[in-house]
Amino acid sequence: MTRPIILIGAMLLLVAACGKKSSTPPPPPPAPAALQLVNATLNGEPGPNFIGVGFNPVVRFHFNQRVDKATANAALAMTDDGGMATAFGVGWERGDSTLVVTPGSNALKGLTRYSVVLTTALKSAAGTALDRAASISFNTRIDSTAKFPAISNDSLLTLVQRQTFRYFWDFAHPASGMACERNTSGDLVTSGGSGFGMMAIVTGIHRGFITRQQGLARLQLVVDFLKNKAQRFKGAYPHWMNGNTGVVIPFSANDNGADLVETSFLAMGLIAAREYFDNAAGAEQSLRSDINSILNGIEWSWFRKNNEQVLYWHWSPDRGWAINLKIQGWNECLLTYVLAAGATQHSIPDTVYHKGFARDGAQRNGRSFYGVNLPLGEDLGGPLFYSHYSFLGINPNGLQDQYADYWAQQVAHSRINFEYCKANPLARFGYSASCWGLTASDIPNGYTASSPRNDVGVIAPTAAVSSLPYTPAQSMEAIRFFYYTLGDRLWKDYGFVDAFRLSELWFASSFLAIDQGPQIVMIENHRSGLLWNLCSRAPEVKAGLRKLGFTAPYL
């Protein structure tokens, strides 16, 4: 009997011990984990920035736990690059741990930057706040809908010429009639751009934008300024000058005197005006006499610098030949040698062209790019203004010398530029068979001579527009694209803005004389050959081309 009694007693003691409270409290429950963003995606791709997004993107924020859905709307915002709120909807996936954001119907616009921002007001289902704010940004794609009513291609060309003409007519310097360098340059006017502007005025008369008498009066103002006020150095003009006083405005520290290349562009405009205003007597005869006086005063031969077999670009009255830049091809400067060779006074011998500009044939290329043979110049052709500036007046149709067929050169150069942008080897956003053209222009925070070998992602409308004679189908397609598709961004008071970079949604607010002028003139050369015909019959142009060994049907 003893053993059972002992066992019962032990059990009673154990039960009693279990009934007592422990002296050590239990550990507290763990604090809820912080709400953390695992990743953010747009259309399934990680961010944070996207370019060329469609108008129905899906943004997903993936979290480490369930979210309190009631806190989402207060924590979210979608805005455009101007800070305007954009309508959006919210959805949930993966047990409410993925927040899905979609824009409202038709809420997004083309070529606009949007940001979806998530603040720390977002909370988890357990009540913890998002540990840090998050965002995802994207640029929308091009909106292909037409921005203006459709008109014929011919009417569109007239519209582009008329609107661009306003830069040289409405915006000309009031005292001198000269072309302002750009729309923000104040009294600073440009010699070369003014030459293009004179050709634009002749075109404006031809197209009926102004009367012959209005054009004559404006050109009388310009010629009087050039003859009687503007500073000259050995008969040549500076790149920039004050439109009121005619005093040189230095282009750079050592460039405070003559610029022979800019002077040649100015001379080409004067020649075009002289040939157009051909009435035998009166004001038009006086205009021609004043123009001849200016042209005859240019000491082309001085710029050989001690009779070297090359022309030099600059000369300064106090710094001399400090810049020391030879004018050598292939580039935009053929006109300079033609006018220097054909001048009635101070002309140069043909050897200066052959040894200086043509470098005894070293300007030849002869290689093919994108299946196009390039006769002259650097590989891939360089910036397109090489094919524009000299050939605003010099007619390349049938023009040949021992180095090249110049029509073939301009066509090849333009085609290569087009094919490069179409192929888009650097995957620049927006480049296409409709959106092309690399040349000198403004770029974000600067200026550069864009080309296939210096492609910074900036398209300049003047490049494709001014190539219309050489690539008519491709250029017309670009003009239509710039006007109809991008017209809400590009089409302004003086025609197309200078340049744009779609990847950054950057559109220049600037207009430059040397970019606006070629558009008017080259469109006209394509349509009627007006400026080519005027300049081709000029005696100094004919004499210069013949002297240098060129042949052409019009010589």
Question: Would you say residue 21 has pLDDT above 80?
Answer: no
Residue 124 has φ and ψ, to the nearest 5°, of: -80, 170
pLDDT computed for residue 30 by the predictor: 73
CA trace torsion 357, 299, 320, 378 (10° rounding) = -20
Mean pLDDT of the chain: 95
Asked if residue 429 lies in contact with residue 51, where contact means CB atoms within 8 angstroms, the answer is: yes
Q: Which of 64, 46, 50, 118 is nearest to 88 (CA)?
A: 118
d(CA 535, CA 552): 14
Query: Which residues lie closer than 8 Å to 185 by C-beta, 6 or more apart?
Result: none
CA max distance for the chain: 155
Instruction: Give me the domains of the chain, ranges plus CATH numbers.
Output: 37-140 (2.60.40.1220), 153-547 (1.50.10.140)
d(CA 95, CA 114): 28
Q: Which of 200, 199, 167 is nearest to 494 (CA)?
A: 167
pLDDT computed for residue 112 by the predictor: 97
Average pLDDT over residues 252-260: 97
Asked if residue 464 lies in contact with residue 478, where contact means CB atoms within 8 angstroms, the answer is: yes
Q: What residue type is 130 in one-letter code? A: L
Average pLDDT over residues 304-315: 98
Average pLDDT over residues 247-271: 97
d(CA 525, CA 508): 27
Q: What residue type is 169 in one-letter code? A: W
Q: How far is CA 249 from the centre of its chain?
A: 25
pLDDT computed for residue 17 by the predictor: 44
Average pLDDT over residues 450-470: 98
Helices within 481-536 (DSSP H only) = 487-490, 513-527, 530-536
Question: Would you say residue 235 has pLDDT above 60?
Answer: yes
Question: Would you say residue 93 has pLDDT above 70?
Answer: yes
Question: Would you say residue 359 has pLDDT above 80?
Answer: yes
Task: Name the CA radius of gyration of the chain, rounded.
Answer: 35
Query: Which residues lie closer than 8 Å to 540 by C-beta, 6 or more apart?
Result: 271, 295, 339, 342, 343, 344
Question: Would you say residue 19 has pLDDT above 90?
Answer: no
d(CA 297, CA 72): 77
d(CA 440, CA 463): 9
Average pLDDT over residues 178-199: 97
Confidence of residue 8 (pLDDT cuts 50, 70, 90): very low
Confidence of residue 27 (pLDDT cuts 50, 70, 90): confident
Question: Would you say residue 25 has pLDDT above 80?
Answer: no
Task: Copy the structure tokens of residue 34.
Answer: 């912080």
| Residue with token string 């003014």 | 194
Confidence of residue 23 (pLDDT cuts 50, 70, 90): low
DSSP per-residue string spanning 400-457: B-SS-BHHHHHHHHHHHHHHHHHH-TT--TT-SSSS----EEEETTEEEE-BTTB--S
Task: Copy the structure tokens of residue 236.
Answer: 């040549």
Asked if residue 64 lies in contact with residue 97, where contact means CB atoms within 8 angstroms, the answer is: yes
For residue 111, count other CB atoms closer than 10 A to its CB: 19
Q: Angle at the Cα of 346 (from 341 to 347), degrees rounded to 5? A: 15
Average pLDDT over residues 141-160: 98
Query: Which residues lie closer than 8 Å to 35 by C-beta, 6 or more apart?
Result: 63, 64, 65, 67, 122, 123, 124, 128, 129, 130, 131
d(CA 147, CA 350): 52
The answer, yes or no, to whether the previous bond of 57 is cis (omega within 30 of 0) is: no
Residue 391 has φ and ψ, to the nearest 5°, of: -100, 15
Task: Copy the structure tokens of residue 443.
Answer: 């770029």
Q: Which of 170, 246, 238, 160 is nearest to 201 (CA)?
A: 170
DSSP per-residue string spanning 241-254: EETTT--B--SBTT
Asked if residue 335 lies in contact with residue 263, where contact means CB atoms within 8 angstroms, the answer is: no
Question: Would you say residue 9 has pLDDT above 60?
Answer: no
Q: What is the number of helices (H) and of strands (E) in the chain? A: 16, 21
Average pLDDT over residues 142-150: 98
Residue range 402-418, pLDDT digits in tens: 999 999 999 999 999 99
Question: Would you say residue 295 has pLDDT above 70?
Answer: yes
Average pLDDT over residues 143-147: 97
